[in-house]
Amino acid sequence: MARAGGPAPGGGRPLIITENPVLLDDLLRLCAAAGAEPHVHHAVPGHGGSGEGARGGSPGGAATVGGVGWESAPLVLVGDDAARRVRGAPRRDGVFLVGRELDDPLVWQRALEIGAEEVLRLPDAEARLVDRIADVVEGAGRPALAVGVIGGSGGAGASTLACALALRAARAGERTILIDGDPLGGGMDVLLGGETAEGLRWPDFAGSRGRVGAGALAESLPELHALRVLSWDRGDRVVVPPAAMRSVVAAARRRGGVVVVDLPRRVDEAVAEVLAQLDLVLMVVPGELRAVAAAGRVAAGVRMVARDVRVVVRGRGPGGLDAEAVAGLLGAPLAGEVPVEVGLPGRVAEGEPPGAQGRGALARFCDGFWQRVLGSAQGATA
């Protein structure tokens, strides 16, 4: 389960190389929009040219400027006027050739010569460039491992498992956000005993269209049991536009750590936006034939978007199906089995969230799941 690599060096300040005053104004404006304070040079620091800083930049001529140089900057924006001066600099990732007049067919040759990842033409690519700069500011490295939990049938216990997974991840020291994707589910904040906790809920993000800051999102949410929770309020609004869903989940993932999403059984456009960003979906299915039949219909919708769907079998009644049989009938890998835990509903009713204590079948399943999945993800990016 490979994910993006670690954060780039350079202290979060991009390097701009250009002598074009109009282009420089554009790039400074875009950096400001992303909350970045760039270093500005006329040539590669330490590789000739005047190297003179601009608008707060430091005098050049050294391998680094204020601790940031060609090789250490997390992002380098090379103006099309400066491409020739950049030739010969060491090859590195995160270099973009930027300009307004890029109709010259030789621009692609110049991009290859400097090892640019992409040629960005303004103003068309402004939104994309702001996103890349903002990633640098936020220290975006490996995104969060995002796991969705969905019930294969009514009453399967998906919300209980989602809550326990998030709680056990947080108890294991992972930076964790629990997202309630089911507006009709009763509220994950209620399950965690925090319905009156201060912080934003889904309706507050309904108007989000563009980029949502990862740090700002986390700080705005209620903190319950060492994790951040995005739930629904007690109002009448039960719809969040797909664009808002996409922006919020993307911000949660950029924060790193673990994101757990409790999903509704019906896959609409907004839920599809969430599914597309998940690394793994766990479908909770009781070991009963009717539940398996219902889960087959749910699985068909989920598989249209999700790339990895696995089955968690929860309990088995007299004459029911064993876990391997359930997974086989659904044609999905088996993630494990969680026996029915005696006394759990009573403890939840008394205010103890699922998975709060390390003992019990539910907590043991969650701890084992994270050990396997997080260990596999870390190994894939090592």
pLDDT digits (tens, 9 = 90+) for 100-155: 887 777 888 889 999 998 999 999 999 889 888 887 777 656 789 999 999 999 98
This model's pTM is above 0.75: no
Q: What is the DSSP secondary-structure string of 129-172?
A: HHHHHHHHHTT--SPPEEEEEEESSTTS-HHHHHHHHHHHHHHT
pLDDT at position 34, please?
82
pLDDT bin (cut points 50, 70, 90) of residue 380 is low
Cα of first residue to Cα of last residue in the chain, in angstroms, is: 12
Does residue 50 have a pLDDT over 80? Answer: no
Does residue 381 have a pLDDT over 60? Answer: no
pLDDT at position 379, please?
56
Q: Which of 87-91, 146-150, 331-335 has the lowest mean pLDDT?
A: 87-91
Place of tokens 């060096």: 9
Greater confidence (42 vs 137) lies with: 42
Q: What is the mean pLDDT of residues 78-104?
A: 89
Six token digits for residue 11: 């202290």
pLDDT at position 59, please?
35
Residue 144 CB neighbour total at 10 angstroms:
23
For the stretch 93-97, contacts whose Cβ atoms lie closer than 8 Å and that sit 24 or more positions apart, written own/partner, are 93/8, 93/117, 94/8, 96/120, 96/129, 96/132
